[in-house]
Amino acid sequence: MFAKQYTAQEMMAVACAKEIINHDVVFVGIGIPMMAGLIASKTHAPQSTLVYEAGGVGAISRRMPWTISDNPTSENGLLAMEMWRIFSDTQRGLINKGIIGGAQVDKYGNLNTTAIMGGKATYDTPLVRLPGSGGANDIASSCPETIIMMKLVKGKFVEKVDHITSPGYLTGAGAREKAGLKGRGPIALVCDKCVLRFDAQTKEMYLHTIFLNTTVEEVKSFFDWDLKVSDKLAVMDPPLESEIDLIHKYDPNGVILGSKSGGRQETFDSFYESMKACYNSVDLNLTEYDEY
């Protein structure tokens, strides 16, 4: 049954989860990508494996990790490896799908998380200095497929990024291959109002699916170029009640998806009680690895 109430962030997590299929090995980051991976692994893709940057592989945990090295990233997991080995396996193509984000993205799926120039600013003296790549460049360069997750915000969807931190299709068809990148590039960009994909020939981004109560004109207003729209534009169904229940079980305090106000004060006792309730409500089902 479809959920009657859900947030844009929850819809975004569910939409991204649909991009994960059974037996995928998925490099997930902290936040909504992690929730998307969990939803997939607990619903339609039970044999998918989640990989975390600090080395956790295939964890089956009772709560959401809050950092890349939080205990749940390896709880009941298949492996707990060094970070360098995780990225080595990424470069070898053993992790077939990665989820990444950025502060800017352009029509070819190139991401900028390094610097916003703005006007006459330069790389050395940018308008805004950003945290940089982390592991995103490795994922974007080497994973066979990547999924981009970004909220639709005016000014973030630009015709050409100020700096390429993580490569998409660079300048278009054939550019990744010419640059020697092993990964095939992004397969989708999941927003809070739609899902975008990339043309098989030109590699340019286009609108593929919109969410309920969203219009094409509304989506296009966020883009600095004339976004193309699929001739077979789809409308995505709302999340299932079971998917929303799963999100609330694993993130009862809204830490990941921000369902609670950041300004709300919470005592340690109330936090502790909510964590106990989370642990008691989640069935680990450790037989999930029986088929491995």
For residue 89, which phi and psi values (nearest 5 degrees)?
A: -65, -35
CA distances from 137 to 48, 69, 91, 101, 130 (A): 23, 19, 11, 11, 14
The two tokens of residue 216 are 């094409």
Q: Which of 10, 19, 53, 243 is catalytic?
A: 53
Q: Known catalytic residue: 53?
A: yes
Q: What is the DSSP letter of 240?
A: B
* Cα 181 → chain centroid: 21
The SS3 of residue 234 is strand
The SS3 of residue 263 is coil
Q: What is the DSSP letter of 239?
A: P
Q: What sign does the CA torsion over 26, 30, 32, 35 have? A: positive
Residue 25 near residue 54, CB atoms below 8 Å: no
For residue 32, which phi and psi values (nearest 5 degrees)?
A: -60, -40
Q: Which residues pair with 146 in a beta bridge?
A: 98, 186
Residue type at position 282: V
CA dist 152 and 213 (Å) reads 15
Cβ atoms within 10 A of the Cβ of 24, count?
A: 19
Q: In the 3-class helix/strand/coil scheme, how is 147-185 assigned residue by residue?
A: EEECCCCCCCECCCCCCCCECCCCCCCCHHHHHCCCCCC
10 Å CB burial of residue 143 (0-12, 13-18, 19+) is buried
Catalytic residues: 53
